Amino acid sequence: MRNVIYVLSIMIVLPMLACAKESADITVSTPVTVNDQSSVVATVTPSTVGTTTTETQSSGAQTIKENEVTEVPASTSSGSQDSTNAPVDLVSKFVSGRDYMTLVPAKPTSSPTDVVEVTELFMYSCPHCYSFEPFIQTWLAKDKPADVAFVRIPANFNEMAIVHTRAFYALQAMGVLDQALHQAIFDEYHNNKNRLKDKQAVANFVAKQGVDSKVFLETYDSFGVNASFRKAEELAQSYRANSVPLIVINGRYVISGKMAGTEQKFADTMNYLVELEQQRLAAEQQAKTKVKAN
């Protein structure tokens, strides 16, 4: 009976945990602002947001163990949230440092400057990323605005992840990495226990999916893949990524599984921050138009 209870507990908790970069326990006694300068980002309150699950913030030191999210939360001081014109209920639901982290300064994106970019950091070997994938697909199908770009970036937290990252960019460069193949790689690793531990193992697998394995192996070590690999590492570092899955909104805001707690809260926070950025970009465009008119 104890074994049954234990298994059920793991099944309930597992999906919203995260694959950590470091396996050692980390104790955080004081929140640290994710900030490269002394300035902070002012926020614009969206006109509409979804219903949000109530979340309380614990105080004091927290121990972050293996497979938990290991990011350091941003400052929860009032200076990190511009609430001058924001309804009280929205401010209490979405707070920088509690529900998401604010990156200062904002990091570059690969999309046009007038487009909001949503980025997912993941690893094929991460069981929590695998559990998170259906949520991502639902969000893409139902919630993602048409004018929002979605980008995946594989994280390199271990040697196996390095192989998978290079494979990801090789398949992407070949133009064959659609959602079906992306899901097939996840399934192969987690369901069939094929760890795809080297490029030949990946080549053998993708060949069964109709991909030219010879071209794959040539592309795997190409200059373009090397460049994409380095860029992925740089972006992950700039996001302060210590765990996956991780969602980054337009290079400005970071949401982790630990901060969201539930898929509904994750969706609500994502939608809130996307609209926040849409309104910021619209305000900037309006200001530019006024300047030109004058």
Give per-residue pLDDT as tens, 109-118: 999 989 999 9
**Beta carbons within 8 Å of 155's beta carbon, 6+ residues apart:** 21, 121, 122, 123, 161, 165, 232, 236, 241, 244, 246
Coil vs helix vs strand at 12: helix
Q: β-strands 253-256, 101-102: how paired?
A: antiparallel
Coil vs helix vs strand at 256: strand
pLDDT at 293: 76
Mean pLDDT value of segment 271-293:
90
Confidence of residue 249 (pLDDT cuts 50, 70, 90): very high
At residue 184, what is the residue type?
A: A
What are the C-alpha distances in Å from 117 to residues 11, 80, 279? 32, 22, 14
Q: How far apart are CA 182 and CA 85, in angstroms?
A: 42
- Digit-coded pLDDT (tens) for 144-186: 998 899 999 999 999 999 999 999 999 999 999 999 999 999 9
Mean pLDDT value of segment 260-275:
92
Q: β-strands 246-249, 253-256: how paired?
A: antiparallel
pLDDT surpassing 90 at residue 198: yes
Mean pLDDT value of segment 13-42:
42
Q: Please report, in angstroms and rounded to a whole number, the separation of the first and last CA atoms in the chain.
A: 76
Report phi then psi at 190, rounded to 5. Answer: -90, -35
At residue 264, what is the residue type?
A: Q
Q: How far apart are CA 246 and CA 120, in angstroms?
A: 6
Residue of 76, 136, 84 whose CA lies nearest to 101: 76
Confidence of residue 289 (pLDDT cuts 50, 70, 90): confident
Mean pLDDT value of segment 203-218:
98
Q: How far apart are CA 189 and CA 87, in angstroms?
A: 46
- Digit-coded pLDDT (tens) for 50-65: 333 333 333 333 333 3
Mean pLDDT, all residues of the chain: 78
Cβ pair 277, 150 in contact under 8 A:
no
Mean pLDDT value of segment 131-139:
95
pLDDT at 288: 84
Percent of the chain with pLDDT over 70: 70
Q: β-strands 148-154, 116-122: how paired?
A: parallel
Residue of 18, 103, 89, 3 whose CA lies nearest to 48: 89
pLDDT at 96: 95
What are the C-alpha distances in Å from 142 to residues 36, 81, 161, 271? 35, 29, 30, 11
- Digit-coded pLDDT (tens) for 56-109: 333 333 333 333 333 323 233 333 344 334 444 555 589 999 999 999 999 999
pLDDT surpassing 80 at residue 3: no
- Which top CATH class is 2-155+241-293? alpha beta
- What residue spans define the domains of the chain? 2-155+241-293
pLDDT surpassing 50 at residue 29: no
Q: How far apart are CA 171 and CA 210, in angstroms?
A: 12
Mean pLDDT value of segment 132-147:
93
Mean pLDDT value of segment 256-263:
90
